[in-house]
Amino acid sequence: MKRKTLICIILTAAVFLFLNAEAAERPKLCFDHYYSSEEVVNSLKKLNEAYPELTSLKSIGKSEEGRDIWVFIINNPETGVDTDKPGIYADGAIHGNEIQATETLLYLAYYMLDKYEELPVVKEMVDKNAFYIIPIVNVDSRGRFFKDPGGYNIGRTGRVPYDDDHDGLIDEDDYEDLDGDGEILQMRIKDPNGRFKTHPENPNVMVQVKPGEKGEWTILGFEGIDNDGDGRLNEDPAGYLDMNRNYGYMWQPRYIQRGSGDFPMSGKVTKAVSDFVITKPNIVLGFAMHNSGGMILRGPGSDLVGFYPPQDIAVYDFLGKEGEKIIPGYRYLIVKEDLYTTYGDFDEWMYSNLGTYCFTGELFLSIREQYRKSEQKKVKPEERSWYGAIKDLEKHKFNEYVNQGSMFKSWTKFDHPQFGEVEIGGWRTFTTRMPPPFLLTEEVHRFASFIMFSSRHSPEIEMKAIEVKKIGDELTRVRVRLTNSKAIPTLSRKSLSKKIARKDIVKIEGKDIEVVSGGIIEDIHFERIKYEDNRPWMLFTHVPGFGKRDIQWFVKGSGKARITYDSLKAKNKTIHIDIE
C-alpha cells in the first residue's frame, strides 16, 4: 500500500472517530421518568457542554436556603446577540410540588438542541429567537420534594418561615412521616358519624354517605401529629410564601391574598427572577409552567386589572386556540372569568408591567387516567373529582390494571400517639397532580410544541422600499413598507398605551440628502399621512401582528441613503437605496 493512501485512510479514520466522539458527548435524555433537581442541573450542564456554541448556563441568584437559581439560555451568536432578537422566556415549578413543569422545560431545551441540525423548522426558530429557560423557580421546595418525605399536595410554597396559625410560633406544626415509608399520605379513623364509608367494590375507595346514612370513616388529613396542642394538624408547616402571588403588579396583603408575602418581591427567588427578566427587554412572550388541570391560561387574574385591549386579546386568542389543537383536551381559559381571582401572579406582572404576552400552562389532564372502553367517551361533570379526575373507583381500576397498583398505598393500621388506631394510605407522592411516567413523554412533547409554535410567531419583520419617486425638480418621495408575517406585534397594545417600552425607530440617513418631511402612512390609498414635526428623518412606530406599517419621507438632494429599522422586540433591519 502506498504511503500516501495509508495516510489518507488514517486521516479519514481519525475524522470519523472524532465526529463520532463528538456525537457521543451529546446527551440522550429520556422523559419516561421524573428528574430530581440535581439531575436537572446536571442535564443542563451536559447540554451546555455538548452545545457550547448555542447555549450558556448561569445562576441568577440564591434561594432562601442557598440553592442556585439556574437560567439556561439558547442563542445562536452567528445570527446576533440574544438581546437583538425576539426573546422567549419560560419558567417552571414556581410551586415546588408541580414537578412536571420542570420536565417540560428540560424537554423543550433538549429537543431544540437535539433537533437543531435535523429539522429546518427548529433551526430557523432557534436562529431567529433567544430562549431564556428557568426550569426550576422554586429550587428549595422542588429539591426537597425528591429528598424529604412528602406528598402530591405538599411542598407548594417557598421556604420562607411564617407563623401560619398566628400563635407566636413559626413552622412548628409540619407534616410527619409517621410510618417511616418515605411518603406523607392520608390518615383516616373509624367513626360511625363520619362522612365517608367504604365502597362495596373496593376497600381502598371511600364514598360520601347520603343524608341519614350511617358513616364509617373520618378523614383526618395528611400524616402528622398536633405538635402545638391547638387541636389542629399540620396547620403551620415549613414556610408559606406563594411565589406566584408575590409579584409586583396588583399585589395584595395576606388578608386578601393568602401567601402573598410581606411585600411585593419579598422572596429572594421572585426578586432574582424579576431582576433577570427586566434585563431582557427583548422578551416578547413568556410561559409559566404549573400543574394540573390541562389548561392554557391568560389574565386578567382579578377585576382590579380591568379589561385587556382587544388587539392583545386577538394575539392571545390566536395562540391559545391553536394550543387547544396542539394539546387535545386542554382548554384555553381566562383566570378571573373561568377559574378564580388571583393577585400578584407572574403572568400578570409580565403583561401589565412589562407589556409582554404571557401564558400559564396547567399541565396534565388527569381524566386520561381512564378505565373505560373508549377514550372519546366524554366524562360527565358528576364523574369528576376535585382535580378533574374521574371518580376514585375508576381511577383505582386504572391504577390496578394499567399501572399495576403502583399509584396507591392500601390503607394500613397504625397506632397514632394522639388518636390511637388509625389507618394510613392513599394516593402516592408522584400521582394525582402529575401523570404516570408512561404518559409523561407525550405530555411534555405536546406542551413544548405549543411553546415552539408560539415562538415561531414572534415578530418577523421584512423591510423594503416600495417607492423612490421624483416629485418635481428638487424633491424625492421615499416610501418604505415594514411587514410582520407573524401573530405577535413588535409591541403589545398594553405597552403602547402605557408607554412601557420605546417604540420601533425607522431612520433615513445619507451624506448628500436632506429630509424635508416624514411620517407614518395611515392610509396609502387616500394619502393620509401622520407627519412628524420634529426630526422627521427619525420616526417612531410599531408593526402589528399579521400586518404592515408604511413610512414616507420627502428628501432633497441625491445619492445613496441608508434606511434602518431598530426594534427592542424584533431583529433590526437595514436597506440601501439610490436617490437620483
The residue-averaged pLDDT of 262-290 equals 97
The one-character DSSP state at 82 is: G
Q: Which residues pair with 551 in a beta bridge?
A: 480, 520
On whether both 387 and 301 belong to a single domain, the answer is: no
Q: What is the pLDDT of residue 393?
A: 87
Of 339, 364, 389, the position where a domain reaches its end is 364
CATH number at residue 471: 2.60.40.10
On whether both 115 and 81 belong to a single domain, the answer is: yes
On whether both 357 and 380 belong to a single domain, the answer is: no
Does the pLDDT of residue 300 top 60, yes or no? Answer: yes
CATH number at residue 355: 3.40.630.10
The number of residues making up the chain comes to 580
Strands 331-334 and 295-298: parallel
Of 330, 345, 364, the position where a domain reaches its end is 364
The residue to which cell 415546588 is assigned? 96
On whether both 228 and 314 belong to a single domain, the answer is: no
378: three-class secondary structure by DSSP: coil
Cis omega (within 30 of 0) for bond into 292: yes
Is the residue at 180 inside a domain?
A: yes
Is the residue at 37 inside a domain?
A: yes
- Nearby residues of 201 by Cβ (< 8 Å), 6 or more positions away: 393
Instruction: Express each pLDDT in 379-421 by its tens digit.
Output: 565 555 444 455 788 899 999 999 999 999 999 999 999 999 9
Report how many domains make up the chain: 3
333: three-class secondary structure by DSSP: strand
On whether both 335 and 397 belong to a single domain, the answer is: no
Q: If pLDDT is split at 50, 70 and 90, which confidence band does 14 have?
A: very low
On whether both 377 and 301 belong to a single domain, the answer is: no
On whether both 114 and 188 belong to a single domain, the answer is: no
Per-residue burial over 178-210, b = 16 or more CB atoms within 10 Å of its CB, e = otherwise:
bbeeebbbbbbeeeeebebbeeeeeebbbeebe
Is the residue at 179 inside a domain?
A: yes
pTM for this model (two decimals)? 0.93
On whether both 354 and 484 belong to a single domain, the answer is: no
How far is the C-alpha of 401 from the C-alpha of 199, rounded, in Å?
Answer: 18
Is the residue at 510 inside a domain?
A: yes
Mean pLDDT of the chain: 92
Is the residue at 156 inside a domain?
A: no
Q: What is the dihedral of CA 303, 308, 310, 315, to 10 degrees?
A: -130
On whether both 204 and 343 belong to a single domain, the answer is: no
Is the residue at 434 inside a domain?
A: no
Cis omega (within 30 of 0) for bond into 437: no
Domain that holds residue 280: 27-144+264-364
- Nearby residues of 560 by Cβ (< 8 Å), 6 or more positions away: 510, 511, 512, 576, 577, 578, 579
Of 314, 341, 364, the position where a domain reaches its end is 364
Is the residue at 347 inside a domain?
A: yes
On whether both 488 and 569 belong to a single domain, the answer is: yes
On whether both 178 and 234 belong to a single domain, the answer is: yes
Residue type, 468: V
The residue-averaged pLDDT of 103-129 equals 98
Q: If pLDDT is split at 50, 70 and 90, which confidence band does 216 have?
A: very high
Is the residue at 472 inside a domain?
A: yes
C-alpha cell of residue 3 = 504511503
Percent of the chain with pLDDT over 70: 93
On whether both 135 and 279 belong to a single domain, the answer is: yes
Identify the weakest region by mean pLDDT among 259-268, 315-324, 376-385, 506-515.
376-385
Q: If pLDDT is split at 50, 70 and 90, which confidence band does 372 have?
A: confident
Instruction: Express each pLDDT in 144-192 by its tens digit.
Output: 999 999 999 999 999 999 988 888 999 899 999 999 999 999 999 999 9
